[in-house]
A and B are shown apart, each in its own frame.
Chain A
Amino acid sequence: MRIGVITFPGSLDDGDVVRAVRRCEAEAVPLWHGDAELHGVDAVVVPGGFSYGDYLRCGAIARFAPVMGPVLEAAAGGMPVLGICNGFQILCEAGLLPGALTRNAGLHYVCRDQWLRVENTRTAWSTRYEPGAEILVPIKHGEGNYQADKETIAALEAENRIVFRYIEENPNGSRADIAGICSANGRVLGLMPHPEHAIDPLTGPSDDGLGMFYSALDSLVKVTNE
């Protein structure tokens, strides 16, 4: 299994995603923002960071990077795509996911260990979790306040596309406590928390994040077998 990890100028957690992918014994393939080519990968992760400095708006410049063209095409064809933090912001700016991430309600950047509830275990990135499972994953962002109009939120709820919800405390003011959402076909997932920082209790609060990467590998095996 080959999982592509995009590096934009200003990407920060690309190395951590590569480590997480390797821990699941899959091959991590570095993808460069200026290269309009996915090099035959089976899935793509858009990692966290401050792509192009996140000036103008988070993700607003990165969505036009050459590598994003093939990502949009592949997503349309059903390839699993995961956007973490800045990656989530980029996927929203690119129109792969609805809504937008705005400044945290508390106006501060927040880095802390956050409990989440897994609300949908049938997406390409969440099958390894038990329905309703509670997982502990770090968050670290200044603009993670998920906003969309009422109709969009209602549709996300109705279609069970809210995959992760903040529990105990909503750290950023997100509507409906949304931490992560998926595309209508469940192949594209965007979330603010960082599963790649929860792969080993030595360096993170838990290893709860590994489930996302294993889920993607499972979904790829299934596709291959079918």
Chain B
Amino acid sequence: MARVVVEVMPKPEILDPQGQAVAKALPRLGFTGIGEVRQGKRFELDVDDSVDDAALHRIAEEFLANTVIEEFTVRRVGS
């Protein structure tokens, strides 16, 4: 078994209302000096050794991310 982390983020050119709302709230809470905030999703998958990188890539591309508006990264972080 290995732990795989898939991170999904809105594409840079796509509006991210969620991140924007957090960015706007921070100064109100007294935190200054923070510019843009973007909010994404993180998935942790425990996978069998039989699952190859190509399959993981497909899982991320076809299912976990909506590649019309999101981009993703796939990382193996060990077992």
Contact = CB atoms under 8 A, between A and B. Distances in A.
Contact of B28 (A53, A55, A56, A64): A64
B17 A55 contact: yes
B25 A64 contact: yes
Interface residues of B, number: 9
A61 interface: yes
B29 A55 contact: no
A73 B54 CA distance: 57
Contacts of A52: 21, 25
A53 B17 contact: yes
Interface residues of A, number: 6
Interface in A53-77: 53, 55-56, 61, 64
B22 to A, nearest CB: 5
Interface in A30-61: 52-53, 55-56, 61
Contacts of A61: 21-22, 25
What's the dominant secondary structure at chain B's contact region? helix
A107 to B, nearest CB: 15
B66 interface: no
Interface string B15-58: 00110111001001100000000010000000000000000000
B21 A53 contact: yes
Contacts of B28: 64
Nearest to A66: B28
A117 to B, nearest CB: 37
Contacts of A64: 25, 28-29
A32 to B, nearest CB: 15
Contacts of B29: 64
A53 B17 CA distance: 8
Contacts of B25: 52, 56, 61, 64
A5 to B, nearest CB: 22
A61 B21 CA distance: 9
Interface of B: 17-18, 20-22, 25, 28-29, 39
Interface of A: 52-53, 55-56, 61, 64
22 contacts: A52-B21, A52-B25, A53-B17, A53-B18, A53-B21, A55-B17, A55-B18, A55-B20, A55-B21, A55-B22, A55-B39, A56-B18, A56-B21, A56-B22, A56-B25, A56-B39, A61-B21, A61-B22, A61-B25, A64-B25, A64-B28, A64-B29
In order of increasing CB-CB distance, the 6 nearest A-B pairs are A55-B21, A55-B18, A61-B25, A53-B21, A56-B22, A64-B29
Given A56-B18, A56-B21, A61-B25, 4 more contacts: A52-B21, A53-B17, A53-B18, A55-B18
